[in-house]
Amino acid sequence: MSEIAANISVDSQDEVLPSAMTVALVQLALACGGFGIGTGEFAIMGLLPNVAETFSVTTPQAGYVISAYALGVVVGAPVIAVLAAKMARRTLLLTLMLIFAAGNISSAMAPTFETFTLLRFVSGLPHGAYFGVAALVAASMVPVHRRARAVGRVMLGLTVATLLGTPLTTFFGQSLDWQVAFFSVGVLGLLTVALIWFYVPKDRVSAEAGFLRELGAFRRPQVWLTLGIAAVGYGGMFAMFSYIASTTTEVAMLPETAVPIMLVLFGVGMNAGNFIGSWLADKSLLGTIGGSLVYNIVVLTTFSLTAANPYLLGLSVFLVGCGFAAGPALQTRLMDVAADAQTLAAASNHSAFNIANAIGAWLGGLVIAGGYGFAATGYVGAALSFLGLFVFAASLRLERRDRSSQAV
């Protein structure tokens, strides 16, 4: 099996890249892990009543397990990236998926609600680090002008999970037993371990690698600004999506059976956005990020204006899902601005998106509690995207200033 350097430069002119078949198999293996992670993260949302009944708690109390998983993502991404700085990327990917698989299988056997909550936190720990390292591995195996598309194919596992994995596990979890859903996700984790073992090439750790070098990522303002764009500018998608079920039934006056249709439309939009966004990012990275923020302002505002119309609501939900186009672009941008501390920066991208999830859902809830209605969550999302434009503008201004100082 051929070996690749962990910190290989994709700009090197004399680099020998692996064959197209090798790249495809690696991307498939990494995407399988993304599919498992995405399925495990979102399946719980449709199974909360079942979990609540099993452990004799209320549904809102059962919702704490979602927060526990998100906290695991936020904490795990930077901590694991720093502690594993001297670990080969292939080895790290195998370790992360083993932890993920063990966390989900154990979740299916949890004896108490407190234990289940703790195990959801543990299951969330590998999430951000896995996607960050997987993106770096995928990008290192293709020419520089195809990096974002390689990252997009890895993240395709996550977007396909929203379309297929989550609905299927939710269905079987409700029909049979909710524990079946988490056991199935654990099996997906073990399958990913096998695929990574067979198809991801071994890599060498750079002699300069270490936790101090990784921590150096947080000394770079552009890293913080890029994470800020993700945490603030893309909270709008989650502000809308968190309350889509109630918007469907109480604003558009559709039956509950229409909610899964809206979820599918959102999933289709995410997949379309991931495909188009990764292609656009390879053409213009900054243009894709800035353009997607403007796009989100328009479609989220349209969502609020048209939510009462069932057909326009469905169209708006699809278009908001397309806003995921920024995912591969932001991940690639972090690779550029992190210099030699790419693992920590790339892993932290998913911490930022989970912060966006929390901010969006919280602000959306405040607006609803204030009596403005479920449709108003689109306005909240548009406002967050507008704020994200200011963070993006600050990043552009800093970059231009740095280029001017280097030219002098």
pLDDT value of position 296: 93
With 50 as the cut, is the pLDDT of residue 10 above it? no
16-45 pLDDT, tens digit each: 667 778 888 888 899 999 899 988 877 776
Q: What is the dihedral of CA 303, 240, 180, 274, to 10 degrees?
A: 70
59-101 pLDDT, tens digit each: 667 777 877 888 888 888 888 877 877 788 889 999 999 999 9
pLDDT value of position 312: 94
- Among residues 44, 41, 17, 21, which one has the least CA distance to residue 354? 41
Q: Mean of the pLDDT values across residues 367-394? A: 90
- Cα distances (Å, whole numbers) of residue 238 to 79, 186, 228, 380: 25, 26, 16, 10
Domains of the chain: 18-201 (1.20.1250.20), 211-403 (1.20.1250.20)
Place of tokens 């998926």: 97
162 or 387: whose pLDDT is higher?
Answer: 387
With 50 as the cut, is the pLDDT of residue 2 above it? no
Q: Which two tokens stand for residue 273?
A: 């956005």
Label each residue of the chain as H, E or C. Answer: CCCEECCCCCCCCCCCCCCHHHHHHHHHHHHHHHHHHHHHHHHHHHHHHHHHHHHCCCHHHHCHHHHHHHHHHHHHHHHHHHHCCCCCHHHHHHHHHHHHHHHHHHHHCCCCHHHHHHHHHHHHHHHHHHHHHHHHHHHHCCCHHHHHHHHHHHHHHHHHHHHHHHHHHHHHHHHCCHHHHHHHHHHHHHHHHHHHHHHCCCEECCCCCCHHHHHHHHHCHHHHHHHHHHHHHCHHHHHHHCCHHHHHHHHCCCCHHHHHHHHHHHHHHHHHHHHHHHHHHHHCHHHHHHHHHHHHHHHHHHHHHHCCCHHHHHHHHHHHHHHHHHHHHHHHHHHHHCCCCHHHHHHHHHHHHHHHHHHHHHHHHHHHHCCCCHHHHHHHHHHHHHHHHHHHHHHHHHHHHHHHHHHC
Q: How confident is residue 15, by pLDDT bands cut at 50, 70 and 90?
A: low
With 70 as the cut, is the pLDDT of residue 369 above it? yes
Mean of the per-residue pLDDT values for the chain? 82
Q: Which two tokens stand for residue 91?
A: 């080895």
Place of tokens 């269905």: 171
Q: Which two tokens stand for residue 200?
A: 């991801």
The span from the CA of 346 to the CA of 338, in Å, is 8
Q: Mean of the pLDDT values across residues 225-237? A: 86
**Cβ neighbours of residue 274 closer than 8 Å, sequence gap 6 or more:** 152, 155, 156, 159, 324, 325, 327, 328
CB neighbours of residue 234 within 10 Å: 28
pLDDT value of position 4: 35
CB neighbours of residue 374 within 10 Å: 22
- Exposure string of 57-83, with b = 16+ CB inside 10 Å and e = fewer, is beeeebbebbebbbbbbbebbbebbbe
The span from the CA of 254 to the CA of 247, in Å, is 9
- Exposure string of 312-344, with b = 16+ CB inside 10 Å and e = fewer, is ebbbbbbbbbbbbbbbbbbbbbbbebbeebbbb
Q: Mean of the pLDDT values across residues 304-321? A: 92
Sign of CA dihedral 163, 153, 148, 213: positive
The span from the CA of 228 to the CA of 371, in Å, is 29
99-154 pLDDT, tens digit each: 999 999 999 999 999 999 999 999 989 988 898 888 888 888 888 778 788 888 88
Q: Please provide the size of the chain in residues.
A: 408
With 60 as the cut, is the pLDDT of residue 3 above it? no
- What is the Cα 203 distance to its own chain's centre? 25
pLDDT value of position 195: 94
Please give the share of the chain, as a percent, with pLDDT higher than 90: 25
pLDDT value of position 149: 84
316-332 pLDDT, tens digit each: 999 998 988 888 888 88
pLDDT value of position 241: 76
